[in-house]
Amino acid sequence: MTTSQMTPTAVRRSIESLRALEDKVLWLSVWMIHYANHIRPARDGLKVGGHQASCSSITTLMAALYFDVLRPWDRVAVKPHASPVFHAIQYLLGQQTRDKLERFRGFGGAQAYPSRTKDGDDVDFSTGSVGLGVAMTSFAALVQDYVRLRDFADDGMLRGRMIALAGDAEFDEGNIFEALLESWKHKVTNLWWIIDYNRQSLDAIVEDRFHLRLGTIFRDLEWRVVTLKYGKLLERAFEHRGGDSLRRWIDECPNPSYSALAYRGGAAWRQQLLDDLGDTSGMRELLDDHDDDELQRLMTNLGGHDLESVLEAFHGINDDRPTCFIAYTIKGYRLPFAGHKDNHAGLMTPEQMQTFKRAMRIPDGAEWDRFAGLDVPADELSAFLDAVPFNQPQQRRHRTPRLSVPDTFQLQIAERMSTQAGFGRLLAHIARQHASLADRIVTTSPDVTVSTNLGAWVNRRGVFANSERTDVFHEGRALSAQDWTMSQDGQHVELGIAENNLFIFLAALGLSASLFGARLLPIGTLYDPFICRGLDALNYACYQDARFIVAGTPAGISLAPEGGAHQSVITPLIGLGQPGLISFEPAYVDDLAEILRWSLAHIQAEDGEAVYLRLSTRPISQPNRARSVEARAEVINGAYWMIPPEPEASLAIVCCGPVVVEAIEAHQQISEDIPGIGLLIVTSPARLQRDWMGQQFGRREHGVRGPAHIECLLEPLARSAGLVTVLDGHPAALSWLGAVRGQRVFPLGVSGFGQSGDVPDLYSAYRIDTDAIVDAAARLCVAHPV
């Protein structure tokens, strides 16, 4: 039962308990930060930090939500700097340990920012990079709608509200508005954004007119906007003589002045109100009725700090329309630096903490006690907490059976083909031949669906929309290869051009099994260079262990005439370095088929990851080969000998991606002078490197023992052999290979910005053509004559 369904007496008792718990959450979060900074021994002289002011401004909102409003199936993104508030609440609910709180921001302790993977107390969405958590809720709402409309999970699980608790300065991040527009297009439901409108960011005080703009934007996009400006104390004061003037005065007071008065306290309010409204009838009585402390309480009684107002607002929403709550608050509320413009990272001094502790009536030694210093008896609070709706036994992290993946994809491969075209064919093949697997695939792309080769898939599986929409072009028999009929059964979600949105959506899709109990196989496509545009969102998705496949295509300067701005250079390094993501850049389509098959299983595995495929638009001759199980395993392990070297060979060419054509040509030319040299095809620098590093540190994946795959591959070569490495991307992605056996590397690759041109001109200009490979081999041989 929640406060909205109770008798008046029960509501009163309940509000008293909630108020007591709100106090306790404030105390615990402030204390947790204090303890970490001032009491826990420090070893390295580094600041520990924490945000007492940010916590205090959102305590009421979070206490109301977690202790009364939320249901287990609701999902929340908590603003990053309120991490201690979240952990304190979970501690009171019995879901967090004192040990973790004592180690807040310490190794193994509660994390600085709420973390889905690193915290043990059931964080729904990680936050940290401001703006991303907010956007995540809108895409989670879209996934929830998708899963519901496609009937993939129990209905009971699918009515959760996706809730963002946002700092007001998060709205300076453009990604929020990208997400807002996208969610409007998709008509998402069950979305709440609650803005802690404390009018302060890290450095600054927010522009006065901001809330007006904000409200307008939300209303324009058909959201409901609920503004919580005044608390009950202020509202009652407005009813008295002079109340209208007081309200007007508050409304007109600039943010910096209001903040400064909140900092200076009761006497300063009194002086200012006397100066400005002393002649207004009723004002002197109002001031006489309040001592300084009471006046401070009254004037800081904004909507977001008034439990009753907050509960009323939350419980007042009974439909699934997206709703934005603008809750006025004061940063540092009830703390000595309330409203001070520099309070963001401010920490209370030990003396201030002592005063605060006395005010909260916490006896020495009872700092971590769940109920010390509260007016409501402990057994009553305990019973209250036991009955909290959010805390009822209910699976919040679902375990969802894995979908089986076939042993092979029997794809018809054309004689000449690019990996991008192969990718499109593979998806169409899966749609045709592997229906149950295909049913769970969801594709998405930021306005590059057709140009990344998803067209055939979309023609077969349709575009997703909340409501039926026909493709006018198709119906009218106008000439178009695409049938873009939209329906609730569609399996492609078309996004506008915003790579941030793509990655945040993939993050949400990639958590569907755990969040909604519905396993999806998400596949996103984008132009490879624009990975960098959405990189923080990709990082965000990986940090939460979301599982998806993303194809970056076209990639590299092999895109050729279409211009330098679209030619990716550093993405192989992202593929190598990004945790939570494993990357591949296959040269051939049969390699890709094996990699895609493996990836569909890997994104479902307990210890899996997301997968990044770097694909090319360059058509090249495809080998026609039957492959053993071992050969296919090598493709997944990251490399195989296309032409094995003779024992003790002095040279090998190592290539990755479409430059295989030049590598083969160079191999032929060099072999005329130096027979027995090898040609190694790398399908994944990342797989090779992780395996090798794991071997170095004794941490192999899947319990594998023995030498790393790359060590085995390089074994036949002479110790003094040279390796010419080449890829259409930054050469550092392969240059590390020299460290494996101490062999010399000549690393070829692209390290400058690209430009328009055809492949021969560009490969020559950027030194990844056949001549460059032959030349590099010659230099290695001169340095160490054969």
Ligand X SMILES: Cc1ncc(C[n+]2csc(CCOP(=O)(O)OP(=O)(O)O)c2C)c(N)n1
Q: Which residues bind ligand X (CB under 6 A)?
A: 51, 54, 57, 79-81, 129-130, 167-170, 196, 198, 200-202, 331, 344
User: Whole-angstrom distance between the N-terminal and C-terminal Cα of the chain?
Assistant: 83
Q: Which is nearer to ligand X, 139 or 584 (CB)?
A: 139
77 Cβ neighbours under 8 A, 6+ residues apart: 124, 125, 127, 133, 134, 136, 137, 163, 164, 165
Shortest spacing between CB 168 and ligand X, in angstroms: 4
Q: Is 191 helix (H, G, I), strand (E, B) or coil?
A: strand
Shortest spacing between CB 303 and Mg ion, in angstroms: 15
From the list Mg ion, ligand X, none, partner contacted by residue 303 (C-beta under 5 to 8 A by kind): none
Shortest spacing between CB 210 and ligand X, in angstroms: 11
Q: Which is nearer to ligand X, 76 or 740 (CB)?
A: 76
639-643 vs 416-417, strand pairing mode: unpaired
Contact positions with Mg ion (CB under 5 A) in 150-169: 167-169
From the list Mg ion, ligand X, none, partner contacted by residue 3 (C-beta under 5 to 8 A by kind): none
From the list Mg ion, ligand X, none, partner contacted by residue 378 (C-beta under 5 to 8 A by kind): none
Q: Which is nearer to Mg ion, 170 or 545 (CB)?
A: 170
Shortest spacing between CB 79 and Mg ion, in angstroms: 9
150 Cβ neighbours under 8 A, 6+ residues apart: 488, 489
Shortest spacing between CB 64 and ligand X, in angstroms: 17
Q: Which is nearer to ligand X, 168 or 590 (CB)?
A: 168
Contact string (CB under 5 A) for Mg ion, positions 164-193, x = contact: ---xxx------------------------
Interatomic CA distance for residues 89 and 333, integer angstroms: 18
Q: 427 with 457: CB under 8 angstroms?
A: yes
Shortest spacing between CB 360 and Mg ion, in angstroms: 24
Interatomic CA distance for residues 441 and 491, integer angstroms: 7
Q: 571 with 614: CB under 8 angstroms?
A: yes
Q: Which is nearer to Mg ion, 56 or 525 (CB)?
A: 56
Shortest spacing between CB 623 and ligand X, in angstroms: 46
From the list Mg ion, ligand X, none, partner contacted by residue 383 (C-beta under 5 to 8 A by kind): none
> Is residue 56 within the footprint of Mg ion (CB under 5 A)?
no
What radius of gyration, in Å, describes the C-alpha atoms of the chain? 31
Please state the separation of Cα 214 from the chain's center in Å: 24
Q: Which residue is nearest to ligand X (CB)?
A: 167
Residue 259: half-sphere exposure toward Cβ, Cα within 13 Å: 26
Q: Which is nearer to ligand X, 134 or 574 (CB)?
A: 134
Give the 3-state secondary structure of 554-581. Answer: CCCHHHHHHCHHHCCCCHHHHHHHCCCE
Interatomic CA distance for residues 281 and 124, integer angstroms: 52
From the list ligand X, Mg ion, none, partner contacted by residue 519 (C-beta under 5 to 8 A by kind): none
Q: Spell out where 466-602 has E strands.
A: 486-487, 492-495, 521-526, 549-552, 581-584
From the list Mg ion, ligand X, none, partner contacted by residue 617 (C-beta under 5 to 8 A by kind): none
Shortest spacing between CB 300 and ligand X, in angstroms: 16
- CA-to-CA separations, 77 to 101, 123, 163, 470, in angstroms, rounded: 20, 8, 6, 36
547 Cβ neighbours under 8 A, 6+ residues apart: 510, 511, 513, 522, 603, 604, 608, 609, 610
Q: 603 with 511: CB under 8 angstroms?
A: no
Token output for 437: 């697997």
Shortest spacing between CB 55 and ligand X, in angstroms: 9
Q: Which is nearer to Mg ion, 133 or 685 (CB)?
A: 133
From the list Mg ion, ligand X, none, partner contacted by residue 105 (C-beta under 5 to 8 A by kind): none
Q: Which is nearer to Mg ion, 96 or 198 (CB)?
A: 198
Nearest to 310 by CA among 25, 57, 127: 57
> Is residue 332 within the footprint of Mg ion (CB under 5 A)?
no
From the list ligand X, Mg ion, none, partner contacted by residue 81 (C-beta under 5 to 8 A by kind): ligand X
> Is residue 200 within the footprint of Mg ion (CB under 5 A)?
yes
From the list Mg ion, ligand X, none, partner contacted by residue 690 (C-beta under 5 to 8 A by kind): none
- CA-to-CA separations, 624 to 412, 425, 461, 589, 596, in angstroms, rounded: 10, 17, 30, 10, 19
Q: Which is nearer to ligand X, 537 or 560 (CB)?
A: 537
Token output for 296: 């401070």
Task: Quickly count: other Cβ atoms within 10 Å of residue 545's Cβ.
Answer: 18
Shortest spacing between CB 197 and Mg ion, in angstroms: 7
Shortest spacing between CB 198 and ligand X, in angstroms: 5
Q: Which is nearer to Mg ion, 167 or 658 (CB)?
A: 167
> Is residue 243 within the footprint of Mg ion (CB under 5 A)?
no
Q: Applying CB under 5 A, which residues contact Mg ion?
A: 167-169, 198, 200
